[in-house]
Amino acid sequence: MPKNKIVLNLDDNLEVTLTGFIAPIEYTESNYHVAYEWDELANLRVAVPEKEYSASVFRAFLPDEAVSVGTPWRIEEEGALELLRQLHPNPNLDMRGYGDPGLWACLRAYTDEFADIVFRIHTEFKLGDGWFTPSQFTGHLIVNRPEKTVSFFQMRVPEGPVNFEVGWQDERSWDDSNWIMDTGFCSQMELRAGAEAVLQDITTGLKSTMSGSTAITQEEAERSLNCQFYKSEQIDWVSMEAALELAQAQQKPIHAISIDGPLGDEAC
């Protein structure tokens, strides 16, 4: 079935208020930031708790042309950087040549009234002598199509046992690089406009009108974005049980590889 395409727009004369949150770092794997007294990480807080923006800033998250659901497009960097500076004054999108940089969005679902855009951003924050690398920023931009307004916006670091990597220079490091590396967990790093209840109400309404041409699932949208960052996400992964069944049916060996970090984000 061919998918319909829609054009998305915003009224630049309107304003959007974003609230920023950074919760205290709950832990790191090795607690090095405490042992080595790296206060910049221990005291990491949101730079600007609340700020008003012109709706034009959020155009960075809109496609330049008509799109159908599931089709990814690049987010404009300067608009994303302007928002990220509310969390910390020194964001960096090129990842210093490490990791997998990028800013991607896709249309997850739409009705005549609303459009739900899902996005993913990789960035780092410069902390004095070191770098703080979130696993990713993911989120939603929900546009009221007739009014051309932002009904809801959320950009956050998702939860997980480990959701950031950190490194800083210190002559007390255990090798000649003078870099100390660690990973850890922050329970909330987020920018938001609107209440969570708004997101739930709108996504429930979108789901009730869902069809193959006007909506995909959240999981499908996330996979579409993940594939823009990692070749490994293009593999059709199966469970160990399914792999054993396939190996027996196809008479093929299983090659097992053990890894100590996630393949699908930057917290490794």
Q: What is the 3-state secondary structure (H, E, C) of 51-95?
A: EEEEHHHHHHHCCCCCECCCCEEECCHHHHHHHHHHHCCCEECCH
Rounded to whole angstroms, the Cα distance separating 48 from 267 reads 25
Pairing of strands 25-28, 179-186: antiparallel
202: nearest Cα among 156, 154, 158: 154
Q: Which tokens go with 209?
A: 């009108």
pLDDT in tens, 139-176: 999 999 999 999 999 999 998 888 999 888 766 655 56
What's the farthest any 2 CA atoms get from each other in the chain? 64
pLDDT tops 90 at residue 209:
no
pLDDT of residue 2 exceeding 60: no
Q: If pLDDT is split at 50, 70 and 90, which confidence band does 1 have?
A: very low
Measured CA to CA, the distance from residue 46 to residue 93 in angstroms comes to: 18
Comparing C-alpha atoms, which of 122, 127, 61 is closest to residue 93? Answer: 122
Cα separation, 120 vs 236, in Å, equals 21
Encoding tokens for residue 162?
A: 């480990």
Tokens 């497009």 — which residue?
A: 73
Residues 100-118: tens digit of each pLDDT: 678 999 999 998 899 999 9
> Distances from the Cα of 173 to the Cαs of 41, 182, 226, 267, in angstroms?
17, 12, 34, 20
Q: What is the CA radius of gyration of the chain?
A: 20
pLDDT surpasses 90 at 72: yes
54-58, 97-101, 225-229: range with lowest mean pLDDT: 97-101
Q: 29-47: per-residue pLDDT in tens?
A: 887 667 667 788 888 999 9
Would the pLDDT of 266 be above 60? no
Rounded to whole angstroms, what are the CA distances from 64 to 68, 75, 118, 133, 169?
13, 10, 16, 29, 41
Spell out the domain ranges in the chain. 15-250
Q: Give the torsion sign (CA, 160, 51, 77, 213).
A: positive
At residue 177 the predicted structure's pLDDT band, cuts being 50, 70 and 90, is low
The model's pLDDT over 12-27, given as tens digits with 9 standing for 90+, comes to: 999 999 999 999 988 8
pLDDT at 234: 63
Percent of the chain with pLDDT over 70: 82
What are 227's two structure tokens? 């594939």
Name which of 54-63, 238-247, 255-264 the model is least confident about: 255-264
Cβ-contact 251, 121 below 8 angstroms: no
Supply the pLDDT for residue 169: 76
**Least confident span in 52-61, 221-230, 245-254:** 221-230
pLDDT higher for 40 or 210? 40
pLDDT at 60: 97
User: What is the reported pLDDT for 19?
Assistant: 97
For 135-139, what is the mean pLDDT? 94
pLDDT at 3: 67
Rounded-to-integer distance, Cα 211 and Cα 226, Å:
23
Who's near 59: CB < 8 A, 6+ residues apart?
A: 10, 12, 76, 79
Rounded to the nearest integer, the mean pLDDT of the chain is 85
Q: Residue 121, class by beta-carbon neighbours within 10 Å (0-12 exposed, 13-18 middle, 19+ buried)?
A: buried
Residue 229 confidence (pLDDT): 73
Question: What are the residues whose beta carbons fall under 8 Å from the beta carbon of 227, sequence distance 6 or more?
Answer: 233, 234
Return the amino acid letter for 214.
T
The continuous run of DSSP H or E covering 14 comes out as: none
For range 229-242, the mean pLDDT: 70
